[in-house]
Structure 1
Amino acid sequence: MKIVKYITLVLLICASTFAVQAEQKFTKGSWDIHYIAFPSTFVKPETASQYNLQRSRYMAVVNISVLDKDSQEAQFVNVSGKAKNLLGQTKQLTFTRVTEGKAVYYLAQLQYRNEEIFNFEIDIQQGNRSETIKFNKKFYAD
């Protein structure tokens, strides 16, 4: 019985740790800026087709969403950015706005090689307001 309690406790700790790490966001003033970059093979073929995303083991999807910090309402903004690998090669990111009901997010794609690391610099603008977020990600070919 002790071992069952121990395993349950370990699983709960692991689950809560994952939940904390799973949220990737920056809070800038009144905005919560959520970001994620992942291999495009994680996207179902029908979803990729719907949003004109190329599925490939060497293609990533970058997803940005901007919410009002207090109301959590999606914000209509302009998103641009670039990704630079460790060799200093820079790739410009072209974002497309996707609206689903009240949700608004911005998608771009990036080609990569196995185990390639990119440093992202994403610019978000709304009227005269401008914010920049920076993050990095290592991609693996699956």
Structure 2
Amino acid sequence: MLRTFAMFALLLLAPWASAGPEPTRFGDLIVYHNVFNSSFLQPDIAAKAGLQRGPSKGVINIAVQRQNNGSPEAVDAILKGEVRSLIGQPVELDFKRIKEGDAIYFVANYSAAQRGILLFKIDIQAAPGAMVHSLSFQQEFFPDDQ
């Protein structure tokens, strides 16, 4: 189940890897993020990951790594976040942890009824009691025409 989701996530990222957002660095932490429409997920993969699909549903995917002896190592971080439109109230993101082998991903759904800019703010903590790092970015959402 998770292997299928992880493989799909990697395939989804591959075409945009060179044009996608650069990872964000907080000291020795490296944070990768991407946002996409939920319709890109096959229904069975979305269900297994606990994600909803729909024309107004999006998915945020985050991975946190740390360099360990020159090679990246997944960090089982603590994430809290919110999303809001330019004029809307913040809505909390409910991150789900997905572990596949040595890889760890955090995914969450969000909703947007119409096309527009969404503002994301994610607080990332490498471990309980560690410094909290804030990742903020904006992304335009295009609802599906289904």
TM-score, normalised with respect to structure 1: 0.82
> How far did residue 117 of structure 1 move?
1.4
- Structure 1 residues 122 and 42: alpha-carbon distance in aligned structure 2, compared to 1, 3 A threshold: same
- Structure 2: which amino acid aligns with 1:49? A
Identity of aligned residues (%): 30
Q: CA RMSD in A?
A: 1.4
Could you tell me how far apart the structure 2 residues matched to 1:76 and 1:61 are? 19
Which structure has more helix as a fraction of its residues? 1
Could you tell me how far apart the structure 2 residues matched to 1:35 and 1:87 are? 24
Could you tell me how far apart the structure 1 residues matched to 2:108 and 2:48 are? 14
Could you tell me how far apart the structure 2 residues matched to 1:118 and 1:98 are? 24
Larger radius of gyration: 1
Contact 1:113–1:139, Cα closer than 8 Å, also in 2: no
Q: How many residues align?
A: 125
Structure 2 counterpart of 1:44, from 42, 45, 54: 42
SS at match of 2:74: coil
SS at match of 1:46: helix
SS at match of 1:41: helix
> How far did residue 123 of structure 1 move?
0.3
Matched with 1:10 is none
Could you tell me how far apart the structure 2 residues matched to 1:23 and 1:72 are? 18
> How far did residue 24 of structure 1 move?
3.8
- Structure 1 residues 103 and 19: alpha-carbon distance in aligned structure 2, compared to 1, 3 A threshold: closer
Matches within 5 A, 1:64-79: 64-69=62-67, 70-79=70-79
Matched with 1:56 is 54
Could you tell me how far apart the structure 2 residues matched to 1:104 and 1:64 are? 9
- Structure 1: which amino acid aligns with 2:97? R
- List runs of 5+ in structure 2 lacking aligned partners: 1-15
- List runs of 5+ in structure 1 lacking aligned partners: 1-17
TM-score, normalised with respect to structure 2: 0.80
- Structure 1 residues 55 and 24: alpha-carbon distance in aligned structure 2, compared to 1, 3 A threshold: farther
SS at match of 1:21: coil
Write out the 4+ residue segments of structure 1 that deviate beyond 4 Å after TM superposition: none
Could you tell me how far apart the structure 2 residues matched to 1:63 and 1:19 are? 14
